[in-house]
Amino acid sequence: MKYPVPLIHGRLIKRYKRFLADVILDSGEVIIAHCTNSGSMKSCLEEGAEVYLSPVTDPKRKTRFTWEMIKINDSWVGINTSLPNKFAFEMMQKNAIPGLEGYTEIRREVKYNESRLDIFAQKPGETCFVEVKNVTMKEGEMALFPDAVTLRGQKHLKTLMTLKEKGIRAVMLYVIQRMDVEAFGPAAAIDPVYALLLREAYEKGVEIIPIQVRVSPESVVFERVLPVRWEDGK
């Protein structure tokens, strides 16, 4: 997936109020960028690091730029939480995500009971719901989710389990926007309830697909499916 317009280079001064970041552009101008990531951004927040921003064309937006990525230890990390949903939708349309190929109808943002899930897909004989999460945190060689307690994420897992119990395919798709990790797992130390629910969902047949993508100033490219590792090693 290519960015529709050229990104703008700068360096992070600081992030504050969760959704704002001060960035100094190469021109020397200091601007305020919108940060879509509401999490802690643990392991991907470093003042002075290189960043890329996308220009905003909507005149109603208060900020002129959206923060897209940051360079941590020579590796670009995508921090725009709205990107994974769009990326997953486009890749499924192209049959480019292993295990999620062949669907003839694909829709975004479909409501089921009290939840709104990211992707609904159908093909003859099969209906599937996919919930997409953005992953930026790492510890060692592990990509971990979430980086803050997520009640909404817990609710999504319960919804996926309900779907599976009704015989509907349910998939938890994690989009890992960094290349310096080798496996994926739940961040039990941060949100133990989410970690327990994810394991329960897995044992009840909800599929977990962690995909690693290569983020660059030009594009976001699918690389591979990563293995899932649980704390007990199983």
Q: Where are the domains of the chain?
A: 8-77, 83-225
* CATH domain 83-225 topology: Trna Endonuclease; Chain: A, domain 1 (3.40.1350)
The answer for residues whose C-beta is within 8 angstroms of residue 12's C-beta and 6 or more apart is 21, 22, 23, 45, 46, 47, 48, 49, 51, 70
Q: Euclidean distance between the first and final Cα of the chain, in Å? A: 34
Q: What is the pLDDT of residues 142-186, one digit of tens each?
A: 999 999 999 999 999 999 999 999 999 999 999 999 999 999 999
pLDDT at 38 (0 to 100): 86
Strand order in the sheet with 142-145: 137-139, 142-145, 183-186
- Cα–Cα nearest to 176, from 21, 44, 33, 19: 44
pTM for this predicted structure:
0.94
Which CATH number among 2.40.50.580, 2.60.120.620, 2.60.40.2140, 3.30.360.10 corresponds to the domain 8-77?
2.40.50.580
